[in-house]
């Protein structure tokens, strides 16, 4: 089951990319960048939550511990992808990559990461 959920992480990656495309192509043109970032974080949380809910419907998680393991794996994969792809492929500076972690500057990416970590156990427990 864990291998299935590791593969399912790629669905989350696609959701994240499409969420970014949605932001850039629509409401991101109509509001300041910081506001568009914040809206995008909340829509990303919503889309990820829906996806995790349906994943659990198709491939039911067996326990809260398994759900927490899934969230941990997804969290680690997301960090590796963000920094690996962002720095080594997209050639973004480390400063630019860490910019979205600045909650004190209104950046909410950390909330998305926390949701990726906790969503499986919360959905397993409450849905």
Average pLDDT over residues 5-23: 97
What percentage of the chain exceeds 70 in pLDDT? 100
Predicted confidence at residue 1, as pLDDT, reads: 85
Task: Report pLDDT digits (tens) over 37-47.
Answer: 999 999 999 99
User: Element (H or E) spanning 108, and its range?
Assistant: none
Task: Report pLDDT digits (tens) over 51-88.
Answer: 999 999 999 999 999 999 999 999 999 999 999 999 99
Task: Report pLDDT digits (tens) over 94-106.
Answer: 999 999 999 999 9
End-to-end CA distance of the chain: 19
pTM: 0.95
Of 120, 126, 122, nearest to 61 (Cα)? 120
Residue with tokens 């192509």: 25
Cα 122 from Cα 37, distance rounded (Å): 25
102-104-105 Cα angle (round to 5)? 70
């Amino acid at each position: 089951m864990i291998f299935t959920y590791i593969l399912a992480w790629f669905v989350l990656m696609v959701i994240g990319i499409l969420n970014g495309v949605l932001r850039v192509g629509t409401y991101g043109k109509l509001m300041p960048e910081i506001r568009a970032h914040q809206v995008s974080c909340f829509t990303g949380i919503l889309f990820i939550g829906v996806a995790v809910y349906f994943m659990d419907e198709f491939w039911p998680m067996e326990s809260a511990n398994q759900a927490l393991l899934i969230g941990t794996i997804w969290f680690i994969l997301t960090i590796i992808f963000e920094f690996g792809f962002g720095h080594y492929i997209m050639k973004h500076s480390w400063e630019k990559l860490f910019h979205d972690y600045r909650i004190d500057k209104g950046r909410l990416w950390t909330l998305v990461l926390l949701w990726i970590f906790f969503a499986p156990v919360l959905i397993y427990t409450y849905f």
